[in-house]
Amino acid sequence: METRLVDRYGRVHDYLRISVTDRCNLRCLYCMPAEGVEFMPHNKLLTNDEIEEVVRAAAKLGVRKIRLTGGEPTVRAGLPQLIKRIASVPGIIDVALTTNGLLLGNMAADLYEAGLQRVNISIDSLQPERFKQMTRGGDLSKVLASIEKCVQLGLSPIKLNVVLVRGYNEDEFDDFLRLTIDRPLTVRFIEYMPIGGRQADWKHNYIALEERLHASQFGRAAVPLAKPDHGGPAEYYRIPDALGSFGLIHPVSEHFCDTCNRLRLTADGFLKPCLYWSDEFQIRRYIGDEHALMNALLRSLDAKPLNHEMAREWSGQQLSHEPTTRTMSQIGG
């Protein structure tokens, strides 16, 4: 058996993003419809035992980095225990979390004690009313308090994810850059992606990040940084003398598929080789048989396409096959 997750284009996969729940305590306008989505019944979600087994099999195939996401991962009961189990799997050297931060303040110390190494917190506005509007009900003060808590705990790096949405928050670009001046924070701006039936809103609200950077005098003064060792899709910059940095993640205007190193596992046990396309592989049935599970992980890469087609979708061109109908909250971002 092949011992590494290498696809037909030679891309080595050492990163698994695991959605631990599709449930969420927010309804961000770029992620879910206003009426929400029907949540999976609890018995459909992979258990901690099952997730650990998948991680063990993946680690034997060279996966080194795990990111827990959702839905909102902090609403899953027993998250610290799950992190502890994943962090102790031989071969796993990095366990990270993406969260909306609402519940993180009270949990951060426990999560880090359990073995969490890094956290990304999503925050799309620094204005309480606008934040509430974009997240459909979120309390900004709770997210800011969680960020403070993580800074106090000395966690590093703390990354803030900001999806720029035209007509909502693009005027806060400089405010987010200012956050990086005297705080050890990394702000990452993310382009709005057309995932899971959000196409109509997307065409209206998508904004290319380069365009926003060049429109900002502050942003233009920033200095590009070398790519961090762990790679990743962001291009990083620093404002001269700032303690923190900022990054641009522009999957639509300039895709980074040629360096894709990630596989995704949904909360109901499907492997997704690409965020954009509908292809997915049910692997729950192989849990309990490590050899079969490793085989399924390897096979899931067989059909991994070279790239997504968000830019084609933008320009109204025919797509080569079917995009996913899962929402971001059902995939994990």
Interface with ligand SAM by CB under 6 A: which residues? 24, 30-31, 69-70, 72, 98-100, 122, 161, 163, 190, 192-193, 195, 198, 328-329, 332-333
Q: Does 265 bind ligand SF4 (CB under 6 A)?
A: no
- Select the span of 65-73, 143-151, 193-201, 311-319 touching ligand SF4 (CB under 6 A): 65-73
Asked if 73 is part of the footprint of ligand SF4 (rule: CB under 6 A), the reply reads no
Task: Report what 27 binds from ligand SF4, ligand SAM, none; CB cut-off 5-8 Å by kind.
Answer: ligand SF4
Per CB under 6 A, the segment of 68-76, 104-112, 139-147, 239-247 that binds ligand SF4 is 68-76
Give the CB-nearest residue to ligand SAM.
333
CB atoms within 10 A of CB 39: 16
Q: Looking at the DSSP assignment, which residues form a beta bridge with residue 264?
A: 17, 272
Q: Which is nearer to ligand SF4, 193 or 301 (CB)?
A: 193
By CB under 6 A, residue 330 contacts ligand SF4: no
- Which of 58/97 has CB closer to ligand SAM? 97
Residue 58's binding partner among ligand SAM, ligand SF4, none (Cβ under 5 to 8 angstroms by kind) is none
| Cβ atoms of 220 and 214 closer than 8 Å | yes
Alpha carbons 303 and 248: distance in angstroms, whole number: 29
How far CA 254 is from CA of 11, 99, 175, 183, 191, in Å, comes to: 18, 25, 25, 29, 10
The binding track of 12-41 with respect to ligand SF4, each residue x by CB under 6 A or -, is: ------------x-xxx--xx---------
Place of tokens 């025919």: 318
Peptide bond connecting 233 to the previous residue in cis, omega within 30 degrees of 0:
no
Our finding on whether 205 is near ligand SF4 (CB under 6 A) is no
Cα(23)–Cα(7) distance, integer angstroms: 31
Q: Verify binding: residue 323, ligand SF4, rule CB under 6 A.
A: no
What are the helix (H) ranges across the chain? 48-60, 79-87, 104-114, 128-135, 140-152, 173-179, 199-205, 209-214, 217-220, 290-299, 310-314, 328-331
Tokens of 222: 């920033």
Residue 22 and residue 265: Cα distance in Å, rounded? 12
- Which of 162/310 has CB closer to ligand SF4? 162
Footprint on residues 112-171 left by ligand SF4 (CB under 6 A): 122
Give CA–CA dist 46/169, Å, rounded: 36
Report H helices in 206-289. 209-214, 217-220
32 binds, among ligand SF4, ligand SAM, none (CB under 5 to 8 A by kind): ligand SF4
Q: How many residues bind ligand SF4 (CB under 6 A)?
A: 13
Q: Which residues bind ligand SF4 (CB under 6 A)?
A: 24, 26-28, 31-32, 70-72, 100, 122, 328-329
